Amino acid sequence: KETSKTLLAMTASRAATSSTRHQLPSKVGPSDPAATPIRASSLFRPVRSNQQYLKDISTCHELIKSGESYELCLTNALKAINSETSALNAYDIYKQLRTINPSPYGAYLQFGDTLGIACSSPERFLRVESNGKISSKPIKGTSPRSPDPSIDALLSSSLKNDVKNRAENLMIVDLVRNDLGRVCQIGSVNVEKLFNVESYATVHQMVSTISGKLQNHQSAIDGIAACFPGGSMTGAPKLRTMEFLHDLEQGRKRGVYSGSIGYISPNDVLDLNIVIRTAIVTGKDDESKVVSIGCGGAITALSESDDELDEMMLKAKAIVDATELAIMEKKKNNG
C-alpha cells in the first residue's frame, strides 16, 4: 500500500517535475561536453546496434504494458578490438580511471595473462558487519555533471525530483527489501535513505540504502544467496525479468559485468560492489586484445527510448575516455 501511495503521489507531481527537467536544454547543450553523452566512439562499437537497442526498449515497454514486468535492466556492451588495444592491459585503464573517475568501490584484478578487470564502480551490492547488520545501496537514476556549479546543482536537483528515476529506484528498493527479508529478523528491515543523490566525478547518482539484521542462524553467505544478483541489475520481479532479459540480450552472457567484486572475511564480514563502470580486458599480449564495457539502464513505463540510449552511453563514457587515454599514454611511452 505504501508503495502504491508513493507511486501515485509521484505521478501526480509529474507535471511539476517535468517543468524543472525542461529547463535543462536551454542551459545544458552541446557546448557543455560534461553534460553531453556520446552516441559513438571511434574505438568502441556496440555489440547490439543502437537501432536494435531502441527496438529492445520498445519490447520492454510491451512487456510492462502486458503486466509481465515492472522494470527491466536492459544492458548492452561496447567492444574495442584492434591494433590499438593489443598492447593494453587492465592496469593501464585502471590508472586512468583512478584519475578521471575515482569511485568508492573500484577494483583492479588480473587473472593470469588472459583476463583483467578495471572497475570504477560507485555502487555497493552488499555489506555485512560483525554485529550482523546487512545493508545494500542500489543505484537507480543517473544524471551528467557540469563544470558550471549552477547548472550542476540544477542537474542534481532535477535528478532527485524526477518522477521516472524515483519510480525505478523505488521498485528496486522494494525488491531489495524483499530479498533482505528472507534472511533478516522480522521487523529489522528498513530504508535508511531514500532517493539520496550522490555526486561523483562524471555523474550524479540516485542511491537508496536498505538495511536489516541477520537472523541468528543466517550467515553472510546466506545474505549473498538471498540477494544475488543485485536487483539494480535485473529489474522486478527478479527471476521472471531475468528470463526476458536473457532473450532480449540474445543469450549473451554478461560475464563479470553486473556481478560483484569485494571481500569475504573468516569472521563473517563482507563488502561487495556491483560490477558497473568497468572495462574487461581479455586476450594475451601477443594477440589482439578485446576491451569490453558493459552498460545499460532500467526501463520502466515512463522511459523515453532516446533518453535511455543517451544514459547508457553516459555511463560508459568515463571508461571509454580512460581506455583512449591509456592508449595515448602507451604511444607516448613507446616513442
Contact between 278 and 322 (Cβ < 8 Å): no
Quote the strand ranges of the chain, DSSP E: 45-46, 71-80, 105-111, 115-121, 124-128, 133-137, 139-144, 190-199, 203-213, 235-236, 262-264, 270-273, 278-282, 290-299
Q: What is the C-alpha to C-alpha distance for residues 190 and 288, in angstroms, rounded to an integer? A: 49
133 is catalytic: no
- Measured in degrees and rounded to the nearest 5, phi and psi for residue 138 equal -65, 145
Question: 77 is written with which cell numbers?
Answer: 556492451
Residue 82 DSSP label: S
140 is catalytic: yes
**Do 53 and 40 meet the contact criterion of CB atoms below 8 Å apart?**
no
CA-to-CA distance for 145 and 269, rounded, in angstroms?
34
CA torsion sign for 189, 224, 107, 236 is negative
Catalytic residue among 123, 168, 308, 311: 123
Are 292 and 310 contacting, i.e. CB atoms less than 8 angstroms apart? Answer: no
The residue type of 171 is M
Residues in the chain: 335
CB 294 within 8 A of CB 252: no
- Catalytic position from the list 71, 84, 137, 140: 140
Cα–Cα distance for residue pair 132/219, rounded to 1 Å:
8
- What's the CA angle centered on 175, arms 136 and 125, to 5 degrees? 25
Contact 206, 159 (CB under 8 A): yes
Report, as residue numbers or ranges, the catalytic residues: 123, 140
